[in-house]
Chain A
Amino acid sequence: MAPASGMSRALRLGIVIAIGALVVVLVLAFRRDPHDIRTGTVGKPAAAFTVQKLDGSGALALDEARGKVTVVNFFASWCIPCKEENPALVRTYERYRSSDVVFLGVLYQDSRDSGLQYVRDNGVTWPTGSDDDGRVAFAYGVFGIPETYFIGADGVIAGRHIGPIDETTLVNAIDTLRAQAKK
């Protein structure tokens, strides 16, 4: 009888350990903020890009913002969450408009005409360009839009936000990067 009870003890212990391991894995997985999924681009120099401006007035290059805190927002006219976050972007842009903070909009998987109509209808007055072949989104590791990247004055991607962003998050990120740039 002793081996049988020993066996059942071992089995019970194994089941408890397996369930415990499963719980730990699930807790670790769900603890992660889905707005901040880690990818390879955060903490690395922002990839240089040049895209055609939506209004057809020439090229829009990241290099133009070199040495400045830069907010790069990926959006599209068909993206409902992009419309949801747009008022926050507009307010934040107006707040920093006269400062050295640069806002750039990158149209993602959308036609230029639709994108141009979107920026006109939604009060987007910062420079916007079209990522026609998706290379800019690939270089930044964009999963889906809206996505917003924060680039420090040193040219390194300091952070990114997946999904609709709010004004508080935008202001906090920009102010943090501006404070770092002044040091």
Chain B
Amino acid sequence: MTRSRAIIVIALVAVALALAWSARPRAETQTERVDRITSELRCVVCQGLSVKDSPSESARQMKEIVVQRVAEGRTDDQIRDEFRANYGDWVVLAPSLASWSGVVWLLPILAVLAGLAFAWRWTRERSVPLPEAPPAQLAALRERVAREESLDLPVDAS
């Protein structure tokens, strides 16, 4: 193994180790858990902002409620369900697959399938063979080509 190859292998191993280290399973702190849950909840007085990202007073109060529920030992589902019970499914930023709003998850899949179908039909059309010329026409063309080649006409350079 040459020296450069060894360096590449060592670099790849280092990257793999770093990725494995960052992805290692570890216990989530309460602060991280609050951040994760509040990032999944919609700020009810904002336009498309999560509770975590919103600077509004409503979001601040909602975050306090999440902090309290986490401290009380509630599960993620219990906390989300409480928000859902008060504000409806709308309050959860990522809609549940089990609800009507979960249909939005299907849209990208449908769009990809439609694109694939379109591409498949388009390529199929382009690969349709051209109808073959009748034998008599082919023979006439070959004869003409042969005649013109035998004449050795000068190449038109214009």
Contacts and interface: CB of A to CB of B under 8 A. Distances in A.
Contacts of B118: 11
Given A7-B122, A109-B58, A138-B65, A143 B44 contact: yes
A117 to B, nearest CB: 20
B58 A3 contact: no
Contact size class for B? 20 to 34
A39 B125 contact: no
A59 to B, nearest CB: 20
B128 interface: yes
A27 to B, nearest CB: 16
A144 B57 CA distance: 11
A141 B61 contact: no
A39 B121 contact: no
Contacts of B74: none
A72 to B, nearest CB: 14
A38 interface: yes
A26 B65 CA distance: 34
Given A3-B128, A7-B125, A138 B114 contact: no
B114 A38 contact: no
A31 to B, nearest CB: 16
A138 B122 contact: no
B86 A141 contact: yes
A141 B90 CA distance: 12
Contacts of A109: 57-58, 61
A140 interface: yes
Nearest to A41: B86
A40 B88 contact: yes
Interface in A45-76: none
A133 B61 CA distance: 7
Interface residues of A, number: 22
B106 interface: no
Contact of A134 (B58, B114, B124): B58
A139 B90 CA distance: 16
A40 B87 contact: yes
A14 B45 CA distance: 37
Contacts of A7: 121-122, 125
Contacts of B125: 3-4, 7
A39 B58 contact: no
A135 interface: yes
Interface string B118-138: 100110110010000000000
B61 A134 contact: yes
A11 B45 CA distance: 41
A109 B87 CA distance: 18
A16 to B, nearest CB: 14
A160 B54 CA distance: 26
26 contacts: A3-B128, A7-B122, A11-B118, A39-B87, A39-B88, A40-B85, A40-B86, A40-B87, A40-B88, A41-B85, A44-B85, A109-B57, A109-B58, A133-B64, A134-B58, A135-B65, A137-B58, A137-B61, A138-B62, A141-B86, A141-B87, A141-B88, A143-B45, A144-B44, A144-B45, A144-B58
